[in-house]
Structure 1
């Protein structure tokens, strides 16, 4: 059997990623027929089918999955070798791809991002906004090196590098009826409240819905959104309440434009913020340098939430 065509494997990887030959071709800026020819030739050479068409799009067969995994592992190994060569050059060049939930953005750009770029001018950064589900998917596809995720679902395919406790709190307008509430708030006390809820593709949204179901309560939000900024402004304007980690709205809390109340449910109070990578994929030297920098400079990852220390 001849050697596997790297071009065909790269095309297969893109088609599997986009679940569409046409979208893969658009992304690669080539004619779809070029991809089709390469994949057909690969299937003929291996005498096995690699892709299947379904109502949800193109999906890989078992053989297709095996080749995609091989290609991604091969690419990761190459990046590891190049990374070690870069290390010999003193981190003068390299790149890091990061998936970041919106709730971390203010913490990331306040100082850590700038100081990393100044410290490592030869390292290029690619920062992609992604909810928890999307970020995990990008990691598993090796489309990013690191993911900053809030309240992720446990997954053996991921390596946890940093883990801090960042409770999912209730944020309310300063004049809200619960402003004088003493002690943690239960889910049942929110019945009838105008609630803004972030999309369930995010860790915050998944966690809030899961806890409500455990407490046999249905959340009926007045507003659904995929934006942390919209949630924050919903509360600041006095319309209603929302769930948010303390550090995501630290500036608003300091300014007094909103207030924070802890929730009673243990799952909400024990929510985690994590930096993850794909299990079994060697991080490049540049990625390790970025990981260590984020661990030491981002408030979300250098320690548990400030409110926990104040309530201890």
Structure 2
């Protein structure tokens, strides 16, 4: 059998990612019939079908094997190019990253600017994505890394940084719940006007799971897919919302928003992670990017301020007890 045709494998990858021949052809800028011919030629070469004919394009077992070979090959090529570039001190290279909106302000400020200044020959591709989409982009090799909030465990992904960033209740300054010093039960929040972010985000999925476990259902005053809208809803005094402390650190500093701990352990144990595909090597550029974010991005340089201060308090108390 002759070597696999790279163009046909590229088309197969696009069809699976976009879900149909037509959408894949539109993304690639080719005629659907040309794309179809390439895939038929690949199937004739292999003597077996690679796509199941259904409403949404799905792979046959042979197609799954072939696509994994193609993606592994691309990852290996990028890793090799990265090492060649390393001989030139990372003068060239690319890092592709999927990011949720909640991380953008933290990423785009000093961390990204400093990284691009340090490595002027490297290019960064940033793709906005919800939690499930970001995880899928990593698995499909469409990005090298994903910055995730409250992701589920997944054996296909490996975590390079894992920090505890609880999902707290954010309140407008002067709110009646602001005087609370103990963790708030979910039931106590239900009587107040509330904004919820949608379930495509890690925050939305986490709140949904907490409500399900507590056998509760909230009727929010507002639903949104925007972290910025959520913050403005609270800052303007319209109601309360769920958000990590670091997402509103500026508003806390200016006194327009306060943060209170929420009772369910599911929310207080929320994590942020930077992940990649478990079975594929990282390029040196991606490794340098992770190292840089570990040192300079608030969400990944340490646990949330409240968590860190509690840990420090316990340490100091223990030291006093042993003195």
TM-score (norm 1): 0.97
Match status 1:2 vs 2:26: no
Question: 1:154 maps to which residue?
Answer: 153
Question: 2:63 maps to which residue?
Answer: 64
Match status 1:45 vs 2:42: no
- What is the CA distance between 1:237 and its match in structure 2? 1.2
SS in 1 for 2:272: strand
- What is the CA distance between 1:218 and its match in structure 2? 1.0
1:11-50 residue pairs with structure 2 within 5 A? 11-50=11-50
1:214-225 residue pairs with structure 2 within 5 A? 214-225=213-224
- What is the CA distance between 1:270 and its match in structure 2? 1.0
Q: How many residues align?
A: 311
- What is the CA distance between 1:230 and its match in structure 2? 0.7
The two structures, once aligned, show a CA RMSD in angstroms of: 1.0
Q: d(CA) in 1 for partners of 2:276 and 2:247?
A: 22
**5+ residue gaps in structure 1?**
none
- What is the CA distance between 1:124 and its match in structure 2? 0.3
1:96-245 residue pairs with structure 2 within 5 A? 96-245=95-244
Question: 2:294 maps to which residue?
Answer: 295
TM-score (norm 2): 0.94
Q: d(CA) in 2 for partners of 1:54 and 1:218?
A: 37
SS in 2 for 1:54: coil
- What is the CA distance between 1:175 and its match in structure 2? 2.2
Q: Which moved more, 1:215-224 or 1:133-142?
A: 215-224
Residues 209-236 of structure 1: per-residue CA shift (max 9 Å, x gap)? 1011111111221211111001001111
- What is the CA distance between 1:192 and its match in structure 2? 2.0
**5+ residue gaps in structure 2?**
314-323
- What is the CA distance between 1:66 and its match in structure 2? 1.2
Q: d(CA) in 2 for partners of 1:129 and 1:28?
A: 20
SS in 2 for 1:128: strand
- What is the CA distance between 1:7 and its match in structure 2? 1.0
Q: d(CA) in 2 for partners of 1:92 and 1:44?
A: 43
Q: d(CA) in 1 for partners of 2:298 and 2:15?
A: 39
- What is the CA distance between 1:53 and its match in structure 2? 3.1
Q: d(CA) in 1 for partners of 2:175 and 2:20?
A: 49
Q: Which moved more, 1:79-88 or 1:171-180?
A: 171-180
Residues 62-113 of structure 1: per-residue CA shift (max 9 Å, x gap)? 1111111111001001111101101111111100001111111111122000
Q: d(CA) in 1 for partners of 2:89 and 2:190?
A: 58
Q: d(CA) in 2 for partners of 1:148 and 1:223?
A: 26
- What is the CA distance between 1:195 and its match in structure 2? 1.2
- What is the CA distance between 1:310 and its match in structure 2? 3.2
Q: Which moved more, 1:287-296 or 1:103-112?
A: 103-112
SS in 1 for 2:293: helix
